[in-house]
Chain A
Amino acid sequence: MTQYTICVFTENSIGLLNKITVIFTRRRINIESLTVSETVRKGVSRFTIVIKHEKREEVEKLVRQIRKIVEVLAVFGYLNDEIVYNEIALFKISTPIGGKALDIDTINRIYKAWVVYWGLDYVTIQKTGTEEEIFDFFRYLKPHGIIEFVRSGRVAIGKTPQGLVEYLPEDQEWEYYL
C-alpha cells in the first residue's frame, strides 16, 4: 500500500464534502485523514486528503472522477516524496504531585514540541511533524501517562516551484485575503 495525498480546490459551499466523499465510498477507498480550510482566495477551499492504495492507476481514476464535480476547481494527486507535509498533535499529560517529572528540555530540543497549556495536574503539549515523528514522540511520552491524544489531518504543499493556486481557473474575479 502506497500513501497518496490528494489536494482538492473547490468552491466553498454546503454539501461539497459529501459530493467528494461519495466518490471514495463508491470506489471503496478509505480516507486516512482529511483537512479542509479556505485558501488565500476568498470562497475557495482546499481539501487535503490522505489515502492508501495499491494501484496508482486507480488513484488517477479517482482524481479524474473528483474533477468531474462541478464545484471542484482543480485536483492534484501526490506521492509522499513530491510534497512537504506535516500534521499537528496535542497531548494531555498528567503531572500529579510526586509523579515522574517531564523533561521539558528534551521535549523542546529533541522533539521540537512545546507545552501550550498548564492545568492544575496536567499539561498540554503541542507537536508538529510527520505521522512517524508524532508517534515517536507518543512513545517517548507514554510512560508519563497520556490522558488524551489528538492528531490533525495532514497539510501538504507541493515541491514544485509554482504554487497550486496558479493552476486554478482564471475566468473569474477572485478576491484575496492578502
Chain B
Amino acid sequence: MGLFSESVDVICTDQGQPLEVTWKGTSYKVTGEPNRWFERRKWWAEETRAPIGSGAGLVDHEIWRVQLENTITLDVVRHLGSGRWRLLRIHDAAPARAVEPDEAA
C-alpha cells in the first residue's frame, strides 16, 4: 500500500458513483458497492487564494474506495475544479477489508 498522485480516468453513473476505472492504460469494472467519504484538505497551505464564492472543494474532497474486478482496491479522488480524477492510495489485493482511517492515512 502506498500514497500516489497519479491521474486515472473514471466513468461514473448519473449519481456520480464510479462504474469503470482506467488505470495504467487498462480499464477495470468496479465490483461491489464502492465506499465514499470526504476528507479535509490543508487548504491554507495548498491554496493561494480562498475568496468568497470559491464554492465547494476548498475544505474537503470526495474520496471513493473502489474494488476493481475483485482484485485491486484503490482510493480515488476527484478534483472539483477540473473534474479530473487522481489515484490517492493503492490497498493490498483482495479481499478488501475495512480499513481504519488512521491506518489508511
Binding between chains A and B: no
Residues of A within 8 A of B (CB): none
> Residues of B with Cβ closer than 8 Å to A?
none
